[in-house]
């Protein structure tokens, strides 16, 4: 099997390890196979690919897109290393407001699946990081939302004290004041 799937402390968030085939030329790996991901509960259809390039200390997030265009994300690092975070923002969820984090690296080809109903963010640990992620819904600017990266209620131990933020991310509300329309178990 070309993948290992490891549910995290919030089991809907899944760490994915791809099997890598190195040789003197470099390596080959599959980064996605629909049948295997679907068998592990990861949606079968990704409709948009995104790419970001960032330098050390940049923090992007915590972002989400509201229903009806909520996005699940399959995140991988093509160069460098990031501290990647998923926050459960599904009202009524037993893990509402809790988060999980993983270090994703181009060196070990780990990926993280962040489902719909979760806010997502990452901080760059290496000099540069190229992050590629597939999403399950196209970008809809009118539904784009976020949560403040340093919300005291979340208490995420980001590995940078003074991150480089966009103006938009610096103005995000706390989880308590966020515009959220996810309900745990809705549509299940």
Q: Tell me the CATH number at 136.
A: 2.60.120.10
Q: Looking at the domain assignment, is residue 182 inside a domain?
A: no
Tell me the β-bridge partners of 58. 164
Average pLDDT over residues 169-184: 97
Rounded distance, CA 177 to CA 49, Å?
A: 30
Does residue 63 carry a catalytic annotation? yes
Does residue 120 carry a catalytic annotation? no
Which of the following is catalytic: 64, 109, 113, 133?
Answer: 133
Note down the domain range covering 59: 3-177
Rounded distance, CA 115 to CA 12, Å?
A: 7
| pLDDT tens, residue by residue, 114-169 | 999 999 999 999 999 999 999 999 999 999 999 999 999 999 999 998 999 999 99
Which of the following is catalytic: 63, 64, 109, 113?
Answer: 63
Q: Looking at the domain assignment, is residue 20 inside a domain?
A: yes
């Amino acid at each position: 099997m070309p993948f290992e799937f490891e549910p995290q402390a919030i089991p809907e968030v899944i760490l994915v390890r791809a099997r890598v085939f190195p040789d003197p030329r470099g390596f080959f790996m599959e980064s996605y196979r629909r049948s295997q991901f679907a068998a592990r509960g990861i949606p079968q259809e990704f409709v948009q690919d995104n790419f970001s390039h960032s330098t050390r200390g940049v923090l992007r997030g915590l972002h989400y897109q509201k229903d009806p265009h909520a996005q699940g994300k399959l995140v991988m690092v093509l160069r460098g290393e990031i501290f990647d975070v998923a926050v459960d923002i599904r009202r009524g969820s037993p893990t509402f407001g809790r988060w999980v984090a993983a270090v994703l690296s181009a060196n070990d080809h780990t990926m993280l699946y962040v489902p719909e109903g979760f806010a997502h963010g990452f901080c760059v640990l290496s000099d540069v990081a190229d992050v590629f992620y597939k999403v399950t819904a196209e970008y809809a600017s009118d539904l784009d939302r976020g949560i403040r990266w340093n919300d005291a209620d979340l208490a995420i131990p980001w590995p940078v004290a003074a991150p480089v933020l966009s103006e938009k991310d610096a103005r995000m509300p706390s989880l308590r004041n966020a515009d959220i329309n996810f309900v745990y178990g809705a549509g299940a």
